[in-house]
Amino acid sequence: MSPTPVVRDFAAIVKRVRTTSHALRELGEVEGMPLLLARIGATEPDVLLIAGTHGDEPATVEAALQVLERDSVAWARGFGLDVLPCTNPSGYVRNIRETAQGVDINWSWDRTDVPEIELLREFLRGRRYRFILDFHEDWETEGFYLYEHRLGVVAAGPKMIAAIEPICAINRDAQIEGWPAQDGVVLASSSQERMDRGDGFPLVLLRDHTPHKLTTETSTAWPMAQRVRAHHAALDTLLTHYAAQPATGADDHE
């Protein structure tokens, strides 16, 4: 079988990131392409924003780039953010879900032979964030939805759905991707997911790096600008939510 051809220019992504005013770091290279980290704000980051985990979800990368390109940092409400604008460069340039190696980064975290995972694992070692937001897309859904995993913190999912509803349709199915859902918020069990699928990236992030992990899902059938707006509304709502919470905000259950 011949390899999947390159259809996107990653150099354009690198140029856009490097022309912003934010501190930049290269975590390493994959097939000669840098896995980039941008840091918003001068303080130690409270928030991690992830995009481009799946290479066929381009609105996630575009949304992250536009976050970096915002005119000022006032929108960040005093929070520091680490931004990974494209964690799967080889998949992105080929417009495929997996890496060029054929690996789904999200559910291969136990492997030690995947360059992208090794770079991310090294970067994340010892880091903790108040919340982690992971932009994704879903070609099957006709409406926006999100996953919310939380450990002892106040839920933000319903607020996010309310903010996004004026932008696009909401997936209000009672079950999404095999999990119970309520008004666009998927109520997945991290312990059951671990048993069913292994120790994936989302679950490692929840276990080791944050008490609040959220994943947004837009429909790939929508115009790019609409998908980007939905992701941005999710991020901005989360920042507003946390600005109103004490640093040790608590809730009574996951």
Domain, as residue range, for 189: 10-243
- The pLDDT confidence band at residue 249, using thresholds 50, 70 and 90, is very low
Q: What is the pLDDT of residue 197?
A: 57
Residue 250 burial by Cβ neighbours in a 10 Å radius (0-12, 13-18, 19+): exposed
**Residue 5 is assigned to a structural domain of this protein:** no
Tens of pLDDT, residue by residue over 45-76, are 999 999 999 999 999 999 999 999 998 889 99
In this prediction, residues 76-95 reach a mean pLDDT of 97
**Residue 254 is assigned to a structural domain of this protein:** no
Q: What is the DSSP string of 169-193?
A: -B---SEETTEEEETTEE---HHHH
Question: CA 104, CA 90: separation in Å to the nearest integer?
Answer: 12
Q: What is the pLDDT of residue 3?
A: 75
Q: Are 246 and 170 in contact (CB under 8 A)?
A: no
**Is 90 exceeded by the pLDDT of residue 182?**
yes
In this prediction, residues 21-28 reach a mean pLDDT of 95
Q: What is the pLDDT of residue 103?
A: 96
In this prediction, residues 235-240 reach a mean pLDDT of 98
Q: What is the DSSP letter of 144?
A: B
In this prediction, residues 4-31 reach a mean pLDDT of 95
**Residue 228 is assigned to a structural domain of this protein:** yes
**Residue 81 is assigned to a structural domain of this protein:** yes
CATH classification of the domain holding 204: 3.40.630.10
Percent of the chain with pLDDT over 90: 83
**Is 50 exceeded by the pLDDT of residue 186?**
yes
Question: CA 224, CA 60: separation in Å to the nearest integer?
Answer: 10
The number of domains in the chain is: 1
**Residue 126 is assigned to a structural domain of this protein:** yes
**Residue 2 is assigned to a structural domain of this protein:** no
Q: What is the pLDDT of residue 245?
A: 85
Tens of pLDDT, residue by residue over 188-220, are 765 555 545 566 888 899 999 999 999 999 999
pTM: 0.94
**Residue 249 is assigned to a structural domain of this protein:** no
**Residue 98 is assigned to a structural domain of this protein:** yes
Average per-residue pLDDT for the chain: 92
